[in-house]
Amino acid sequence: MKINSTVVIAETLGLVKDKGEYGMLKKAKYRNWGYPAVGSEFGEVVYAIIGRNCFFSGIQRSFVATSTINAEESIVCAIAEQEGKAIGSLIFYDLQTHLGYDKPAGEFCLNRLTIKQANSQITITGWEPVSCPDNIRKIFEDYIGKTASSAEPHTVEQAQKLGYVPTEMRSPDLGRCQEYIRILGKECQLMEQMQANNAKIANIARALLAPPEHETHIIVVNGQGEYSVWRRDVIQDN
């Protein structure tokens, strides 16, 4: 392992998992800036490189290692050195999941990094939210985890029996329907912060964040294999 004044260059930790047609998942180490007060000396990320695109994800909480958003420069340098590639030859993406951030399992966000490089120093100057490609979701599925809404879809008959009605969200792609429900969850978390100003919105937010048996949105598949998002017919106010 090589060390300079600003970053720790990762030792080769080897292949984490070969995802076949989707790509290979590897692991790298980076400096934990909170050490020795917090956690261990190094944090860890898993990453995959597809063409010029490098996707990485932190796998430790902030009380163990510096969060990825606060250690992007170290992570970028560590991965580039481990792969024997120039930083400028890769486009880096930070996949933030429940393993490193305060999110429910199954919820995540993906940011494309803007990197400014001057001589041997780099600075991350931008984080652009982007949609997550299906193959990247597949590669990192063990780290993203699953929400209750990621479970097996219901049949039309089951949904009707449980009191759900179809929404306008229909797609032949299960992943898009799951993403739609995840977006709903994010919006509801924001709405819940407004509960002091609007009790009705807060009640709806709590309903959408409820345990699986009280879910207000589910995925339904019909006889033609088409997916859609259904919702409960009535949301009760408290």
Closest by CA to 47, choosing from 16, 74, 89, is 16
pLDDT score at 75: 93
Task: Identify the pLDDT of residue 48.
Answer: 93
Rounded average pLDDT over 107-133: 90
Residue 185 has what pLDDT?
60
**The pLDDT of residue 214:** 44
Per DSSP, what are the bridge partners of residue 116? 123
**219 has pLDDT over 60:** yes
Under 8 Å between Cβ of 83 and 15: no
**Mean per-residue pLDDT over the chain, rounded:** 75
This prediction's pTM? 0.58
Q: State the pLDDT confidence band at 194, using cuts at 50, 70 and 90.
A: low
Q: What is the pLDDT of residue 18?
A: 57
Q: Is the dihedral of CA 128, 130, 133, 137 positive or negative?
A: positive
DSSP secondary structure code for residue 99 in this structure: T
Closest CA to 180 of 140, 142, 153, 213: 153
Angstrom distance (rounded) from CA 110 to CA 186:
14
108-112, 124-128, 135-139: lowest mean pLDDT where? 135-139
Is the per-residue pLDDT at 79 higher than 90? yes
Integer Cα distance of 98 and 12 in angstroms? 25
